[in-house]
């Protein structure tokens, strides 16, 4: 048994028996880990708010090799993303990021780059949780994270024949990237304008965290293309990934908002 100190972002926190919690965290140095916090739901819990989702903290735990659940010894909150929590859009997008990482990251595979990317994303959402661009930022975060894990769309040559092209036909979902005009016939192709492609390249070109400001110059048609291309790419290529609960909630909430504003604008004055 080794005693480990690390920084971690709480992805999920489940009740366990009468007084305990089982938490999954993305840590800076150990990767994604699960810990049991005994007595965490006691009034005199030594862990305080350190185990709530959307908090980041320092943790100390006992790492047992050949075990998937480790014993948490202590946790201190260093940052809580509370602004995001208070706004429906920010809340859904931030929890979608936690759910996405929880689903796609393998256990105990150290990846500091991914940790920094998640932290940067949560900071962005927390500082501006009502920005309507949050959903596009989220898509960019998803593709950037997938790319850190080795799922990078091919944007430099034809993803099917590996040939160079002057003009690509579009984004081939199964091929996993841009496809040339010759290969385009056999493939489900999504449109991707050069402006959208530039943004995708800019986000994927960054080593550590995605530069979300790049997407601020985006126009709505670019947003729609990027959301479609990234969503299809992830569903096709990430095994076991079938979309996110938090995003389905967000879509329902957005529909409701639209209905309310339609009703208000059509109401007799
Ligand atoms: Zn080709």
CA of 198 to the centre of ligand 1 (A): 20
pLDDT value of residue 257: 82
CA of 154 to the centre of ligand 1 (A): 12
pLDDT value of residue 143: 95
CA triple 61-62-68, angle to 5 deg: 100
Q: How far is CA 61 from CA 37, 51, 69, in A?
A: 9, 13, 10
Mean pLDDT of the chain: 89
Is residue 209 scored above 60 in pLDDT?
Answer: no
CA of 156 to the centre of ligand 1 (A): 12
CA of 241 to the centre of ligand 1 (A): 27
- pTM confidence score: 0.89
CA of 72 to the centre of ligand 1 (A): 52
CA of 207 to the centre of ligand 1 (A): 28
Is residue 216 scored above 60 in pLDDT?
Answer: no
Is residue 36 scored above 80 in pLDDT?
Answer: yes
CA of 81 to the centre of ligand 1 (A): 45
> What are 120-133's pLDDT values in tens digits?
999 999 999 998 88
CA of 36 to the centre of ligand 1 (A): 50
* DSSP-based three-state secondary structure for 71: strand
Confidence of residue 58 (pLDDT cuts 50, 70, 90): very high
pLDDT value of residue 210: 57
CA-wise closest residue to 204 among 123, 122, 121, 147: 147
> What are 156-205's pLDDT values in tens digits?
999 999 999 888 999 999 999 999 999 988 788 999 998 889 889 988 88
Q: What whole-number distance in Å separates Cα of residue 254 and Cα of residue 246?
A: 12
For helices 112-127 and 134-148, give the axis angle rounded to 10 degrees.
Answer: 180
């Amino acid at each position: 048994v080794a005693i480990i100190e690390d920084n971690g972002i709480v992805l999920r926190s489940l009740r366990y028996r009468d007084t305990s919690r089982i938490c999954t965290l993305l840590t800076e140095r150990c990767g994604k880990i699960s810990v049991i916090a005994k007595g965490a739901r006691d009034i005199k819990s030594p862990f305080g708010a350190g185990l709530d989702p959307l908090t980041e903290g320092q943790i100390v735990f006992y790492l047992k090799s050949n075990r998937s659940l480790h014993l948490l010894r202590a946790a201190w909150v260093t940052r809580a993303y509370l602004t995001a929590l208070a706004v429906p859009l920010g809340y859904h997008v931030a929890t979608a990021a936690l759910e996405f990482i929880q689903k796609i990251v393998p256990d105990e595979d150290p990846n500091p780059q991914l940790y920094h990317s998640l932290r940067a994303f949560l900071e962005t959402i927390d500082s501006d949780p009502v920005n309507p661009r949050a959903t596009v930022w989220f898509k960019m975060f998803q593709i950037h994270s997938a790319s850190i894990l080795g799922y990078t769309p091919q944007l430099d040559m034809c993803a099917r024949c590996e040939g160079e092209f002057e003009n690509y036909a579009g984004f081939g979902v199964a091929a996993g990237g841009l496809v040339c005009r010759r290969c385009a016939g056999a493939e489900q192709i999504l449109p991707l304008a050069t402006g959208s492609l530039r943004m995708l390249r800019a986000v994927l070109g960054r080593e550590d965290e995605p530069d979300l400001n790049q997407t601020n110059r985006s126009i709505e048609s670019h947003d729609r293309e990027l959301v479609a291309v990234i969503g299809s790419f992830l569903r096709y290529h990430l095994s076991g990934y079938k979309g996110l609960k938090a995003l389905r909630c967000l879509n329902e909430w957005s529909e409701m908002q639209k209905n309310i504003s339609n009703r208000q604008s059509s109401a007799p004055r």
